Chains A and B, each alone.
Chain A
Amino acid sequence: MPKDPTLKKVMVIGSGPIVIGQAAEFDYAGTQACQSLREEGLQVVLVNSNPATIMTDPAMADRVYIEPLAPEYVAEVIARERPDGLLPTLGGQVGLNLAVELARQGVLQRHGVRLLGTPLEAIQKAEDRELFKATMAALGEPVPESRIVHKVAEALEFAEATGYPVIVRPAYTLGGTGGGLADNPDDLESVTRRGLKLSPVGQCLIERSVAGFKEVEYEVLRDGRDNAVIVCNMENVDPVGIHTGDSIVVAPSQTLSDKEYQMLRSASLRIIRSLGIQGGCNVQFALDPKSQQYYVIEVNPRVSRSSALASKATGYPIAKVAAKIAIGLGLDEIVNPVTGSTTAGFEPALDYVVVKIPRWPFDKLTTALRSLGTQMKATGEVMAIERTFEAALLKAVRSVELGRMGLWRPGLAAVEEEELTRRLTAADDERLWLVAEALRRGRTVEQVSDQTGIDRYFVERTARIVRMERELRAVAEGGAAGTPSLPAPPGQPAGSKQTSAAPPGPGEPLPSDLLRRAKRLGLADAQIAALTGTTEEDVRAQRLGRGIGSVYKMVDTCAAEFEAATPYYYATYEGEDELAPSTRPRVLVLGSGPIRIGQGIEFDYASVHAVKAIRASGREALIINCNPETVSTDFDTADRLFFDPLALEDVLNVIESEQPQGVICQFGGQTAINLAGSLAERGVTILGTAVEEMDRAEDRRKFDALLEETGVPRPAGGAVTSAPEALEVASRVGYPVLVRPSYVLGGRAMEIVYTPDELVDYMHRAVLVSHDRPVLVDRYLSGVELEVDAVADGQDVLVAGIMQHVERAGVHSGDSIAVYPTPGVSESVRRQVVDHTVTLARALKVRGLLNLQFVAAGEDVYVLEVNPRSSRTVPYLTKVTGLPLVTLATQVILGQSLRELGYSTGLWPEPPYVGVKAPVFSWSKLLQVDTALGPEMKSTGEVMGLGETYAEALYKALLAAGIAPPEGKPVLITVADRDKAEVLEVARGLAAHGHTIFATAGTCRYLLQNGVSAEPVYKLSEGSTEILDLIRGGTVGLVVNTMTRGRAPERDGFQIRRTAVEHGVACLTSLDTAQALLTVMAGEAGREPNGEKAAAGHAFLRVRSLQEYQALAAPLPGGPQP
């Protein structure tokens, strides 16, 4: 029973879409919170706009509202549901800001809703820079000298007085958005200007830089009775100056003596107590590496990314406990679910080391500024657990999936000495590898530590890995040629560190001791193989032959002090194996690794549902994953969780230990799919669609043969390996053509090419990207793009739904707005889509999920892609239809037929309402990235809008995605010549709604000629900044801009788009999106009573829970249409 008996119904606010600075960690937090509250007998009402989350499953809360996280919508939910309390601290900064706003507007008071957990004034004291400073001063806790500013001049004044560099921190923003380090007045002016704009309260803190200090964080929990504990402390390997979200982080701290550990621990407790926090909180410190001087840098009065990491690092369920605290329970009244016998009132003891490495999006967004600073750039992260820092670090390197198995990469050897020093000092995403490279070249630990600001301890540990590389190489070389052929690093002759054992001859095995030491240090088989000139398979065989295998240790929160029943394991190369054999049949699910562009939380959603379905079938569900932010790595999701890399070696280790019936790869995104082939080759049973069938869908030539055989049409094209071949294909099918390398996900390096010159240019660049893999050249069809998710059992094919993309083919499907059911697609097209889906699913003998993309040009339907796996749209479609796609797919994979489950072949009946999925981008975090949409995916997350009509659902989706109608403000239009005819309609619509239109010369002339009044503005290339000033000054409320070819206009367009993003003005780069916005405006107008102008969105201000929507849909299971 909750301690507070007046609480019956509690509302939880989620964090909305995944953006940089706010990833899957809040799905984990929100899901735990909902479960935790329901355990206490409370009714839970959830609001979140992100459909890809587990927390928005109708089973997670009594009422789930997938509605925009805008104050008016949440207020509407409150008015409808009348919750007794609101839990604001588990939905990240978004949830917190929203709760603060609702309180400020008096909504909470009006409906008698109490804010649960941390009180409002505590939130304000921690979040508001001025109040925070005052609180710390009253407490005697040191903070770096700083000044709160509301004007640029004030910032300059402060820096003048204290000296540069200074750090700019905007108030109330996510992940340090808009912040940065300024070395000089010019930088300071621009950073402050941006920061003031991005801060919802127009406030920035200008702070003396303590860059170079150690950065240490403490995760604290406090209950309503003033009991407080530290769950975990963490040390950033990177010093202060690099955002903690972009730092390599280790837990617990490695270089703090007990005195310092306790000094900061006590400070954390004083701070959380003085703020009055009830729940979770994160305190960040800067600690002088040469004295005991410390500064409090930041306090987050809520569950954060760091608390997700701390939770997974220790096994302590922070969000679950924080939720219970919020409803009045004390720490000692909450059971530690890991031991089952002790309480939540304790501090975990770790007997392992945890290393987190961020995952940056620079592999996709190749033009982004890669330097690391105070503004976070990572989209996700991985965590690794091992018994030593080196081994944990190397596991994390394998987990992050950048194609690197260790710290050794031949490419880095080419970096010039000076460049190396510069990059070590400046810090970018390759820093870790550069540190290793510097050590490899003979720079000392001291030198590298001085150049990077990384503590000597961590550099020395990295040096141990480098020494092991050298030893392995030396042994191999010694064996092969007698003398080392690799250049010896200066001051350290290669081979000097050889073991006492004699070097092996050619093809001879490695010495046992060396192999054992290399494995204990954490080197991957693949890395050992690369260094010794053999294969991964050979290294594996060698070590297994000599009994060098991994064992599994338990994460138990208490360093083995108490008996624990946790199912949470990690691999290590040590004595005792704690994995108790199970007699029940079991199935292994491969997770999806770090959140990245192209592979987001949707795949964690699918993995979790697969696990649930396996458990429901009476089997044991095992999962491997390395992402600490997710629900799939929660301690109670699977029967057994292996927190290990999704690399072949690590997966094989688990399989050998557990001997599962089979492995399911189709839910973990490309990460899991990529492993399927290698696993199958080694005799592992892959459940579901056969590996060779998956290959038939991926391999262009086999796929073409399949289409030939089945008679399913596809756009004309071909696979080429040279520029002349490409030109030949292009001239055959006609320009424009869509070109892309084969075997990639997320549309990497995909482009629409309009001319032979561009094609030749692409081929030169693409060959570098894709090596010997062919490039695909296809006719670009500018039609309606359609997408389908279906479940098949080899015989029957249940087509869950046909979705239509608002943006035409050419914009990556992940960046497109998707609509279901399709608003304007003919019956004949729909029939073709279903027929093709059924045909292909049967031909590929799909067992489980498949996703298909089509383009409909007029009444002709062509298939673009078939992916026999879970897709990005599966959670969205599941939520709109109520059809549990992943569950069905898993049941099929485990051997049931669709007919046994009550389903048959055909299209699932469409509901009498509409769901729109819209992409969300993280532009403001990534400088120098062009926001124009194209075939390469750029979005980091998504939202969903539900409504009775297309316009209503679209309005909600756009609002939730941050694209609101321009509310009476002027609109700026500047488009390419080929788009002018099309933009006319958009402009006409906007003008009809009373918007003034600004347009650049060409566009303006065209509009005027066609009877749309517009005001001309100068282009940048005409030597005026007028156009940027209109955006910066907030004059225009919307920008419509399409890509123009040619150097100068491209640069102009880029500047316009970036300026809009950085000043928070919506910028549409696709006319389809602009059309969609018009639909919304028209729909709104249509609903306005008495033709009076209502406030924006007013017409659609209605909310309905997902459960209510789903009740309107067809009852389950029903007979689909034949």
Chain B
Amino acid sequence: MSPTRAALVLEDGAVFLGEAFGAAGSARGEVVFNTGMTGYQEVLTDPSYAGQMVVMTYPLVGNYGINLDDSESWKPHVRGFIVREVCDEPSHWRSVQSLNDYLKANRILGLSGVDTRALTRHLRRHGTLRGVLTTDIPQERAGHGPDTAALPPDVPDAALPPEMVARLAEEARQVRLDGIVAEVTTPRPYHFGLPLPVASEPPFRVAVLDFGVKQNILRELVRHGCDVTVLPAATPADDVLALHPDGVLLSNGPGDPKDVPEAVDTTRALLGRVPIFGICLGHQILALSLGADTYKLGYGHRGSNHPVKDLASGRITITTQNHGYAIRDESVADLPVTVTHRNLNDRTVEGLRHLELPAFSVQYHPEAGPGPQDSDQLFDAFLQQMRDFRNRHDQACGGGTNTERGADSGLGAGAPNTQPATI
């Protein structure tokens, strides 16, 4: 059986032909590339990729199949997945499904056989482009066997009709990612897991504003002994505070931070009243709430090898990144914040800390999944921030009780009582 031909047509008219895998049909989105050599399952299921079609620069994808543990959310969020070669015979003791079957089951289009390096170079030169991925192209080409789909576009009979390219490019230019956060945030609050008991102190209650949160952030919080409640992106500040959280985590998520002004407002209202930790989109939202500005990067940072320097300690950390926007450097100059981290590759802002208030954020992903586990201490820093705040607050209020706050949470219906029995 011949594989189905599929094409990726970019808004500038560039065409990349290959073989379809996963689902058939058409999809549109922003086309971005990821340089990670492992972790495709995590990438597929990372809600930050919502609205995007991801090109993996590493050519062989699907080698270890899909397993039950490594998803970052309950379903894949990419709109299309573009690889040089997809492996149909995965080999791994945890694998339960091939990548092809997984995408098929989730009705996501895949494209293989593409010169992904050429595509990546194209995106690097022209910046992130929108595109259409479709199997609705002429399939029959007389005299050719099963490989015809993978013919490079410079082979004359492989090319698509020009009017079709023009139409698809026009379609690509229609792609908008507005409101993408609303698509991926939780519709209702929920309680995540059981905090692991940590010696000598009551667990920290953390409210996570879900802009498209990765499961690993929640897992890390739980592992650090936090009691985690996940809230919809549009939760107003008062509702957040009503939970009496020890801290608020602004999660990662897809798209432009300026498309979620309500989250910026919420954050502004929370500043100073509760410790805040922002990750990725959460970092940008925190910056906007402080009056800084963001801009769109040429082609973003997506991969597991981005070096970030901690400006205070001089330490370099290899980080996982996935963002298309960044904080405008000069916009923070007069704000009461300090730039704590910078990207060693392009010197962009990678971390901020408020000079007075308990709020800090990083552009990268300390939770890993996929990528290096080198930034775990940021969760400890968040814990310390909450601890300091709690101590100050307790002194100021003459020792408020944790039980009080726990009792009237009113959220997370059906959530188990997460307070350790000793309290």
Contacts and interface: CB of A to CB of B under 8 A. Distances in A.
A501 B38 contact: no
A290 B304 CA distance: 26
B121 A576 contact: yes
B339 to A, nearest CB: 16
Contacts of B303: 349, 559, 561
A76 interface: no
A574 B85 contact: no
Interface stretch (A30-38, A111-119, A223-231, A1050-1058): A223-231
Contacts of B318: 229-230, 346-347
A513 B146 contact: yes
A257 B147 contact: no
A553 B117 contact: yes
A723 interface: no
Contacts of A665: none
B115 A574 contact: yes
Contacts of B92: 255, 257
A254 interface: yes
A1098 interface: no
Interface stretch (B159-167, B179-187, B364-372, B414-422): B364-372
A151 interface: no
B91 A346 contact: no
A513 to B, nearest CB: 4
A447 B369 CA distance: 34
Contacts of A265: 372-373
A1022 interface: no
A258 B42 contact: yes
Interface string A636-659: 000000000000000000000000
Given A269-B374, A349-B37, A562 B305 contact: no
Given A499-B146, A500-B145, A460 B89 contact: yes
Contacts of A256: 38, 64
A227 B371 contact: no
A258 B39 contact: yes
B357 interface: no
Contact of A513 (B42, B117, B144): B144
A524 B374 CA distance: 43
A501 B145 contact: yes
Contacts of A563: 124
Contacts of B374: 266, 269
A513 B314 contact: no
Given A516-B151, A561-B303, A262 B372 contact: yes
A252 B151 CA distance: 27
Contacts of A254: 60, 63
Task: Name the residue among A229, A291, A349 with the largest chain B CB count within 10 angstroms.
Answer: A349
B155 interface: yes
Contacts of A258: 36, 38-39, 41-42, 70, 304, 369-371
B37 A350 contact: yes
A559 B59 CA distance: 10
A345 B144 CA distance: 48
B401 interface: no
A341 B85 CA distance: 31
Contacts of B116: 351
Contacts of A456: 89, 91
Interface string A278-310: 000000000001110000000000000000000
B316 A387 contact: no
A129 to B, nearest CB: 29
Contacts of A499: 145-146
B356 interface: no
Task: Name the residue among A342, A460, A574 with the largest chain B CB count within 10 angstroms.
Answer: A574
* Interface size class of chain B, counting residues whose CB lies under 8 Å from the partner chain: 35 or more
A347 B305 contact: yes
A249 to B, nearest CB: 16
B403 interface: no
Interface residues of A, number: 66
B216 to A, nearest CB: 11
B115 A343 contact: no
Contact of B344 (A346, A349, A514): A346
B118 interface: yes
A988 interface: no
Contacts of B99: none
B60 to A, nearest CB: 7
A547 interface: yes
Contacts of A269: 374
Contacts of B64: 255-257
B193 to A, nearest CB: 19
B94 interface: yes
Task: Name the residue among A253, A291, A346, A455 with the largest chain B CB count within 10 angstroms.
Answer: A346
A743 interface: no
B35 interface: yes
Given A388-B60, A516-B147, A343 B91 contact: no
Task: Name the residue among B2, B60, B94, B309 with the largest chain A CB count within 10 angstroms.
Answer: B60
B206 interface: no
Contacts of A388: 59-60, 84-85
B190 interface: no
A369 B227 CA distance: 63
Main secondary structure of the interface of B (DSSP, over half): loop
Interface in B325-377: 344-345, 368-374
Interface string B20-40: 000000000000010111110
Contacts of B371: 258, 262
A350 B306 CA distance: 14
Contact of A501 (B57, B85, B143): B143
A332 interface: yes
A520 interface: yes
B147 A574 contact: no
B345 A346 contact: yes
B406 interface: no
Contact of A559 (B58, B150, B344, B370): B58
A455 to B, nearest CB: 6
A547 B158 CA distance: 13
Interface string A813-830: 000000000000000000
A332 B115 contact: no
Nearest to A262: B373
Contacts of A553: 117
B93 interface: yes
Given A346-B318, A388-B85, A576-B117, A351 B58 contact: yes
A936 to B, nearest CB: 43
A262 B85 CA distance: 23
A491 B91 CA distance: 23
Contacts of A345: 307, 309, 316, 344
Nearest to B156: A547
A256 B92 CA distance: 8
A58 interface: no
Contacts of B35: 349, 351, 558-559, 561
A345 B316 CA distance: 7
Contact of A560 (B69, B117, B307): B117
Contacts of A500: 2, 145-146
B144 to A, nearest CB: 5
Nearest to B317: A227
Given A455-B91, A514-B147, A561 B124 contact: yes
B152 interface: yes
A1000 B63 CA distance: 64
B256 to A, nearest CB: 22
27 contacts: A225-B314, A229-B318, A252-B37, A256-B38, A258-B70, A262-B368, A266-B374, A332-B307, A332-B316, A345-B344, A348-B305, A351-B58, A351-B120, A352-B59, A387-B85, A387-B117, A388-B60, A457-B90, A460-B89, A500-B2, A500-B146, A512-B144, A520-B150, A547-B154, A559-B57, A561-B120, A576-B115
Given A229-B316, A388-B60, A561-B120, 11 more contacts: A258-B304, A259-B70, A261-B39, A266-B373, A289-B93, A387-B59, A388-B59, A455-B91, A460-B89, A520-B147, A561-B57
